[in-house]
Structure 1
């Protein structure tokens, strides 16, 4: 009876933790959508590898969402096959997350380099490519920035040499002449690369605890799923 009661408890815990996984999956989907929307124009001027990061978070959230639903059904129906599949899939997800975290730390400087190259490429095509022109303008307005590193970057761009002005999206105030003789008093002084990095560092304080929380519950979920698998396989009554 003690074992039976213990397995009932494990079954209940597996069900509860899967519900928590489900919530975590929803949280990741929300974070992925928020990041995609917030960095929309920054991702347009960057490369496909950088632009895929929010999509990867979104996909991971959807996968966790469905795996958690699968685990809930397995625990409720006491299906050894479903619980085993759940434990294996959750272990794979956990290992992928660890690998992604390590890769993100190792290649963090590469991400900065890719973003900077994308900004310079978009600036060089400013006025020629409509989509990139609109992306640069919206990026500079949203992040209150001008140029890649600072507003003087525009002086080396062909568009500046032809028009002798920086884009109007650099202006601190809405006036017709604010960008004619650009200076820190009339245009944003900081570059967009610095502003985007500051935004990322600020929001990593939100993402990091969420990621650690998900990893913690994944480990517990794997442990409890293995315990439930052992109980089902041994033929104990867990209802």
Structure 2
């Protein structure tokens, strides 16, 4: 049994594991929120890092929450092999969270050009590719925007230039998707919005690229910060577990 300083380290480890457990729940929650609420954007990002980072957060959150119990049990029972196992697992999770945090910042800095190219390219696939159609409709409804601006053109004009088969205009033919128009209006207003899109007829006329970019960059910053923050917490857990390991006879 440890005493004196050893007991202080033991109680500090209990407290650290409590904080680590809460951190694991936070990481898990952010990962679930990303997959459940914003995974529809993946097809337009030009990268699968967004959803991959969410899956990584979920897995890491679960493992961190579980492993905190192992560390607490090892400290309570003063079992050296359990403390050593806790240290090793925590070290690998530390590397995983640190890499994940760094990737979040890298992705944040690289998202602009890649996402812009992907969004412009996929406009031509609207109504020809169900995944693209669903992604654009979801983005336009959730972010209250329409299309993507190229040069000085309005964002909603890209449908007429890039996808004339479905949005070439003409009598009774749409120039923008229905998802650019308000669902709160009556059907005549919706049809007029689709056939004659203007700043005063479109409810959703903002540039989707700008709105997505702001959201994705903010989220990547959040993911990167959480990853690096939890990694720092794990260092405390590793130091305390090794200290207690060395103090137990």
* Per-residue Cα deviation, 1:111-150 (whole angstroms, up to 9, x for no partner): 3344334433442221122343223212201111111342
Paired residue for 1:154?
159
Unaligned runs of 5+ in 2: 150-154
Query: 1:76–1:118: structure 2 CA closer, same or farther, 3 Å change rule?
Result: farther
Query: C-alpha distance in 1, partners of 2:8/2:64?
Result: 23
Secondary structure in 1 aligned to 2:127?
A: coil
Query: 1:111–1:205: structure 2 CA closer, same or farther, 3 Å change rule?
Result: closer
In the alignment, structure 1 residue 189 sits paired with structure 2 residue 209: no
Paired residue for 2:192?
177
Equivalenced residues, count: 232
Contact conserved, 1:29 with 1:62, CA < 8 A, in 2?
yes
Paired residue for 1:39?
38
Contact conserved, 2:111 with 2:213, CA < 8 A, in 1?
no
Secondary structure in 2 aligned to 1:177?
A: helix
Deviation at 1:35, TM superposition (A): 1.3
- State the superposition RMSD in angstroms: 2.6
| Deviation larger for 24-33 or 73-82 | 73-82
Query: Pairwise mapping of residues 1-239 of structure 1 onto structure 2 (< 5 A)?
Result: 4-46=3-45, 47-149=47-149, 150-158=155-163, 159-161=166-168, 163-172=173-182, 174=185, 175=189, 176-187=191-202, 188-203=204-219, 207=223, 210-232=226-248, 235=249
Query: C-alpha distance in 2, partners of 1:107/1:52?
Result: 12
Q: Which runs of 4+ in 1 moved over 6 A?
A: none
Deviation at 1:51, TM superposition (A): 2.7
User: TM-score scaled to structure 2, two decimals?
Assistant: 0.80
Query: C-alpha distance in 2, partners of 1:200/1:31?
Result: 14
Contact conserved, 1:50 with 1:114, CA < 8 A, in 2?
no
| Deviation larger for 117-126 or 198-207 | 198-207
Paired residue for 2:152?
none
Contact conserved, 2:147 with 2:207, CA < 8 A, in 1?
yes
Unaligned runs of 5+ in 1: none
Deviation at 1:152, TM superposition (A): 2.5
Contact conserved, 2:148 with 2:209, CA < 8 A, in 1?
yes
Query: C-alpha distance in 1, partners of 2:122/2:62?
Result: 32
Contact conserved, 2:97 with 2:230, CA < 8 A, in 1?
no
Deviation at 1:199, TM superposition (A): 2.3
